[in-house]
A = this chain, B = another copy of it.
Amino acid sequence: MRACLIPFSSNGKDMRDTKDTMKPFVEPESVAIIGATRKNGPGTYNLVENMLQFGYQGRVFPVNPQADEILGLRTFPRIGDIGQAIDLAVINLPRDLVLKGIRECAAVGVKAVIVVGQGFADADEKGKGLQEEMVAIARENGMRILGPNTLGILNAFRPFTTSFMPLSREKAPVGVICQSGIFFVGSGKFSGMMGKGIDIGNACDIGFVEALSYLGDDPDVRVIAIHMEGLMRGREFVSLASRITRKKPVVIFKTGQSEAGARAAVSHSGSMAGRYQIYKAALTQAGCTLITEDSQMRDAVRALLHLPPMRGNRIAVITVTGAGGIMATDALERYGLALAPLSPETLDPVARLSPPWMPLGNPLDLWPAVMKHGMQKVYPPALKALLADPAVDGVLCINVALRLPDYAFLDVSEELNQVVSGDKPVVAWLYGENSEGIGEEIEKEGKIIPFQTIEGAVWALSVLRQRQAYLERISGR
């Protein structure tokens, strides 16, 4: 069944090893849309309309033999009629017309083609044959293909997209490589934010290697998040990943982990999912952060993007609820982290404000002191002391978040940010009716990162630790 994807042939090697391979795809100056639709508005999935609304500033040439003009743009019967240099052709045709479109692109010397439609290795035997032929034409003509079965590209930095679904234009320093448009349209649920995206779809030609090579060297991108169903050229990818992870984090959500999931992957993107444990071992060894649940991508990306390295596994938990401290302690153990032993000097600022009967330790429960002296006098100095303790590698802050301005006296977002210097990671978990509002406030400076759950906050710290341990290992420290 490996034949459903064509292994890369040697004659393309030079091209694919340079990040220039991806340039016409991600930042084209001119684009032809073969199969541009004349209809626009809701429900038409008009790719040209979406591209213009997204703010693309390059030249757009719709190709449709039945139209002279689409959305005010001169429209051509065939790509050959355009008569200008085309960096990228996007083929949006039913599968039976795609090979003809590709041949026409080859005839005018187009080197980069995106094939949007489904019905290839993701479908039946005929589709597999069409996909193989598509690749053969590309090879003969020095052309590269992204797809088929893809939303293509998102680039918020030099605004460009080939997606027919609406996407965010936020210039986030997060690059996404995926095999499904769900990571574009649903980026809020996965990477959380996305400034550049490459949907490799069935990955008939352009694959994880080219995409990672590009985003790995892209100064706009500080964290890379990958959705992977199947991986061809595994050794090459692992080798590349171990180079990239030295300079930026790579988070990988490998799906098709189960046997049934692996079978489903074949009929989604035609991918061979392979044995998960083998992938996991190799990719972890290469310094990648592997996740297993859909909520973890966002948590990992946020932690790796905003927080400093964590140089050990000793965590201080600072809390206004003993119960929350216990939950955090359970989670620390699950993820291989430990409670930092706190010195009397570290506990002193809280001890002086607590009733004499209050047992203080780690987790450090501030509540009796807060009841007596108020949040402002207690929480910020307590956090400051914890961060100054050399036995503490990272801090989890648990706090209550109630509606403002009534409960402004409990809100110490600003004061907490002031005591965080940025050399140790600080995560937070807030509870109460205003946890989202105050969470956004606290996150604004990018120093303290709140998470939805205690479990997620602690897991994020473990991701930081795992990454730092990797960096220390490879640098021989």
Question: In the assembly, how many copies of this chain are there?
Answer: 2
Evaluate contact between A453 and B294: CB separation under 8 angstroms: yes
Contact partners of A166 in chain B: CB under 8 A = 402-403, 406-407, 433
Contacts of A323 in B (CB 8 A): 178-180, 182-183, 227, 229, 255, 268-269
- With an 8 A cutoff between CB atoms, is A27 at the interface? no
Residue from A127, A261, A265, A433 whose CB has the most chain B CB atoms within 10 Å:
A261
Confirm or deny: A73 has a beta carbon within 8 angstroms of a beta carbon on chain B.
Answer: no
A258-B432 in contact given A357-B124, A407-B42 (Cβ < 8 Å) = no
Chain B neighbourhood of A127, CB < 8 A: 357
Q: Is the CB of A123 within 8 A of B267?
A: no
User: A80 to B172, alpha carbons, bound, how many Å?
Assistant: 66
Question: With A256-B329, A295-B455 given, can you name 6 additional A-B contacts, CB distance below 8 Å?
Answer: A43-B409, A123-B359, A180-B321, A185-B400, A188-B435, A268-B322
Which residue of the partner chain B has the closest CB to A408?
B42
* A49 located at the interface, meaning its Cβ lies under 8 Å from any Cβ of chain B in the complex: no
Does A17 sit within 8 A of B, measured CB to CB? no
Residue A23 at the chain B interface, CB threshold 8 Å? no
Q: Does A58 contact B (CB under 8 A)?
A: no
A332 at the interface (CB under 8 A from B): yes
> What are 23 pairs between A and B in contact, CB < 8 Å?
A42-B408, A43-B409, A95-B357, A118-B367, A123-B358, A123-B359, A124-B357, A165-B400, A166-B433, A179-B323, A181-B321, A182-B324, A186-B435, A188-B435, A189-B453, A255-B326, A258-B334, A260-B329, A261-B329, A264-B325, A264-B326, A267-B361, A269-B322
Contacts of A279 in B (CB 8 A): none
CA A322 to CA B359, docked complex, whole Å: 53
Query: Which residues of B have CB within 8 Å of A355?
Result: 119
Q: Which residue of B lies closest to A407 (CB)?
A: B42
A45 CB within 8 Å of chain B = yes
Contact B326 A229, beta carbon cutoff 8 Å: yes
Is A245 in the interface zone, CB < 8 Å from B? no
CB of A242 closer than 8 Å to a CB of B: no
- Give the top 3 A-B pairs by smallest Cβ distance, nearest first: A186-B431, A268-B322, A180-B323
CA distance A455 to B291 in the complex (A): 12
- CB of A309 closer than 8 Å to a CB of B: no
A339 close to B (CB within 8 Å): yes
| Contact between chains at A453 and B180 (CB < 8 Å) | no
Residue in contact with A431 in the complex, picked from B185, B338, B409, CB distance below 8 Å: B185
A323 to B200, CA, bound (A): 13
Q: Are B431 and A255 in contact (CB under 8 A)?
A: no
For window 288-312 of chain A, which residues contact chain B by CB distance below 8 Å?
292-295
A residues with CB within 8 A of B? 42-43, 45, 95, 118-119, 122-124, 126-127, 165-166, 168, 178-183, 185-186, 188-189, 227, 229, 255-261, 264-265, 267-269, 292-295, 321-327, 329-334, 338-339, 355, 357-359, 361, 363, 365, 367-368, 371, 374, 400, 402-403, 406-409, 431-433, 435, 452-456
Cα–Cα, bound, A343→B47 (Å): 36
A264 touches B182 (CB 8 A): no
B-side contacts of A124, CB under 8 Å: 357, 359
Please name all residues of chain B whose beta carbon is closer than 8 Å to the beta carbon of A42 when the two chains form the complex: 406-409
Whether A294 contacts B455 in the complex (CB less than 8 A), given A323-B229, A371-B45, comes out as: yes
8 Å CB contact of A374 from B43, B123, B400 = B43
Residues on B with C-beta less than 8 A from A330 are: 255-258, 261, 292
B268-A326 in contact (CB<8A): yes
> Does B182 lie within 8 Å of A265, measured CB to CB?
no
A329 pairs with B186, CB closer than 8 A: no
Complex alpha-carbon distance, A427 and B81, angstroms: 51
Q: What is the distance, in angstroms, from A105's C-beta to the closest C-beta of chain B? A: 23
Q: A186 vs B454: C-alpha distance in the bound complex, in angstroms?
A: 12
Determine how close the nearest CB of chain B comes to the CB of A39; give it in whole angstroms. Answer: 13
In the complex, what residue of chain B is closest to A254 when comparing beta carbons? B330
Residues in B whose Cβ lies below 8 Å from that of A435: 186, 188-189
B406 close to A455 (CB less than 8 A): no
